[in-house]
Structure 1
Amino acid sequence: MSRSGFASKSYRTRGIVLRTHKLGEADRIITLLTPNGIVRAVAKGVRRTSSRLGATLEPFMEVDAQLVMGRNLDIVSQAQLRHAYGQLLVADYPSYTVANAMVEIAEKLLEADGDSTMRQYRLLHGAIALLSKQAVVPGAVLDSYILRALAVAGWAPSFTDCVRCGAAGPHAALNVQLGGVVCADCRPSGSLAPHPVTIGYLQALLDGDWDTVALAGPRAREQAAGIVANYLQWHLERAVKSLRHVERI
């Protein structure tokens, strides 16, 4: 995280807790996504039963935090809860696994591209908030988040116009490596031929068109999930471990 905007050794920021690690007998290392970047800080004594910060600094919570800069890790001096998303998500296993995947993806994308931090923060916050409402199938929230996060990072897919020549769709073929649908003239060998409903579903995920998303059947959701996962891995050039635990329903 760039700290050029902080005038003193102590600073305040809002953030989403991405993950935590135990440190010693009573402390935790907290990884926060803030509007200015990723912060790793020590929360002292939070594993003690008397700690008021323990329940606040849990994964997926959005907090207002007061931190003190340290040489290697910052120190959390105060934290106030903004949104208790974590309490809702841990109670539902499909939502919990999706949230884990989203925060891992957010961290990996920001490692590759730190210029879009504020937009990635807002996108992750919106996705976690939607997930906590349980109004949309968790897998659909995840796939929508992945496509939109990749678009913010500069890898926007196209599910309407040919990604090679720009010819208007609809098109029957899709090429993951090229980044979307391709026309008959531009179609390389090895391209996929998903069902037309699947291509429309992918566009709805990218647009956040939840009414259309809700109409999709299991076949379209399954096809789209595979395409989205392959597209993510192609650009990250590595697997996202948390995706293996996501339940698709």
Structure 2
Amino acid sequence: MPLYREEGVVIRTQKLGEADRIVTMLTRGRGLLRAVAKGVRRTSSKFGARLEPFMVADVQCYEGRTLDTITQAETLGAYGPQISADYDRYRAGNVMVETAERIAEGGPSRDQYTLLVGALRTLAAARIPSELVRDGYLMRAMGQAGWTPGFDHCVRCGAPGPHTVVAVQMGGVVCENCRVPGSPRLDPGSIELLAALLSGDWDRALESTERERGQAAGIAAAHTQWHLERGLRSFSAPRA
């Protein structure tokens, strides 16, 4: 059976039998990969800890009839322990990897892979609030997937801003003439925060208020789930 190597982020794991796990990874070259890691639940396992969620690893696999098998794993980014140690970071990380998995169903993307690795690295470093890292990732991931929201001009008629009404189903801000029933009106600072998250302007994002972050988080979640055409389980996880 042919061997191959891949670099990937562990999205989730599932118990298999008494000692094995099925590991789902987002890889650089193959997109989503589901493979069996044999014996990793035993205390004697040499690489079990390298295949936990949020870890980035270089893995060697051999192809199987139904599932491939991981035979080696080397850590490239040990982000799992730092993210899992804090509940807010853990919740944010779960939203990010679930989003990455849904987007990856459309096929491999090195840009999406690189973006996720960078976001997990930032989340693990804990220098930026977890909700900002999460929402910045969502905005940029959706943009890379072809659903870039617009915050400067009315996305329907092109009228120059600033506008503060957001129509998620239209893809961004709209003017008063194009407003549809039920579209929320945000504070101007919240629109600025969304634009900053989309561009990766962390200096501006860190100046935001709690209210602006809350409004921006609602739009980021709605925009992501609207375009993925399904809800994300991680958003509804209970708070500690």
- What is the TM-score with the length of structure 2 in the denominator? 0.95
- Identical counterparts, % of pairs: 51
Aligned residues: 239
Aligned 8 A contact 1:98 1:246 in 2: no
Instruction: Give the counterpart of 2:139 among 147, 159, 163.
Output: 147
In structure 1, C-alpha distance between the alignment counterparts of 2:191 and 2:21, rounded to whole Å = 44
Residue matched to 1:64? 58
- Residue number among 88, 99, 111 corresponding to 2:93 in the alignment: 99
**Pairing 1:81-160 to 2, within 5 Å after superposition:** 81-111=75-105, 113-114=106-107, 117-160=109-152
Query: Which stretches of structure 1, 4 residues or more, deviate above 3 A after TM superposition?
Result: none
Q: How far apart, CA to CA, are the structure 2 residues paired with 1:191 and 1:30?
A: 40
Quote the offset at 1:185 in angstroms. Answer: 3.0
- Matched residues in 1 for 2:201 and 2:123: separation? 15
Q: Which amino acid aligns with 1:192?
A: P
**Residue of structure 1 in register with 2:43 after alignment:** 49
CA deviation after TM superposition for structure 1 residue 18, in Å? 0.6
Whether the 8 Å CA contact 1:144–1:208 is kept in 2: the answer is yes
- State the Cα RMSD in Å: 1.5
1:161 pairs with one of 150, 153, 158: 153
Which letter maps to 2:28? P
Q: Please, which runs of 5 or more residues in structure 2 have no aligned partner?
A: none
Q: Deviations over 1:152-202 (max 9, x none)?
A: 111100011111122322113211110101123322333221111110011
1:183-223 residue CA offsets vs partner (Å, 9 max, x unmatched): 23322333221111110011011111111111111111111
Measure, in 1, the Cα distance between the counterparts of 2:58 and 2:225. Answer: 33
In the alignment, is residue 244 of structure 1 matched against residue 236 of structure 2? yes
CA-CA distance at 1:246 after TM superposition: 7.3
1:17-28 matches, cutoff 5 A: 17-28=10-21
The answer to whether 1:209 aligns with 2:165 is no
Structure 1 pair 119/200, CA: closer, same or farther in 2 (3 Å)? same
- Counterpart CA distance in 2 for 1:136 and 1:246 is 22
Matched, 1:79 2:73: yes
TM-score by length of 1: 0.92
Contact kept? 1:43, 1:77, Cα under 8 Å: yes
Pair 1:187 & 2:211 matched: no
Q: Does 1:29 align with 2:17?
A: no
